[in-house]
């Protein structure tokens, strides 16, 4: 979820965030839940040799995420889908190394293929609490997505 903070500037200034992937669905997870699960795995016994799948509580599209950010910020925020080549060019133009941009596009292709839609119970199983929703993330980080007020 915190990856959306990298789009905070365009959300504040343009009311939009950009990517490619059309209507892909993915079960985005809050980094705070990853942290809680990792802390438990690293400090408790019984996790040796185990692998976990960490996810948020629902699969969302970028259009769903735009709606949730809009509700939290109290202003319209839209998702702008770009052709893959244009998105790659935009990433590189923003200073992201070409190899990193290619890796990001590979990850989006993984999402487009539907390989990250599953919702896993592992966050709650490990940490003892359900994963946070994107709605909660958007409320907690609302200030990042609203225009800064000058005093």
Cα(16)–Cα(13) distance, rounded to whole angstroms? Answer: 8
CA-angle at 134, arms to 11 and 34, nearest 5° = 110
Q: Residue 87 has what pLDDT?
A: 96
pLDDT of residue 105: 95
Query: pLDDT digit of tens for each residue in the chain (151 aa)?
Result: 999 999 999 999 999 999 999 899 999 999 999 999 999 999 999 999 999 999 999 999 999 999 999 999 999 999 999 999 999 999 999 999 999 999 999 999 999 999 999 999 999 999 999 999 999 999 999 999 987 765 5
pTM, whole model, 2 decimals?
0.91
- Residue 16: half-sphere exposure toward Cβ, Cα within 13 Å: 7
Sign of the CA dihedral running 18, 20, 23, 28 = negative
SS3 breakdown of the chain: % helix, strand, coil, rounded to 5?
Answer: 55, 5, 40
């Amino acid at each position: 979820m915190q990856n959306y903070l990298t789009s905070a500037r365009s959300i504040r200034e343009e009311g939009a965030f950009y990517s490619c992937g059309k209507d892909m669905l993915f079960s985005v997870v809050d980094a705070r839940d990853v942290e809680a699960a990792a802390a438990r795995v690293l400090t408790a016994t019984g996790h040796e040799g185990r692998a976990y799948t960490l996810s948020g509580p629902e699969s969302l599209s970028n259009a769903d995420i735009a709606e949730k950010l809009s509700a939290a910020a109290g202003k319209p925020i839209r998702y702008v889908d770009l052709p893959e080549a244009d998105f790659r060019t935009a990433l590189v133009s923003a200073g992201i190394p070409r190899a990193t941009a290619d890796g990001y596009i590979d990850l989006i292709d993984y999402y487009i293929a539907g390989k990250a839609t599953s919702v896993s119970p592992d966050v709650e199983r490990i940490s003892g609490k359900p994963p946070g929703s994107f709605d909660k993330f958007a409320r907690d980080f609302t200030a990042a997505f609203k225009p800064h007020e000058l005093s």
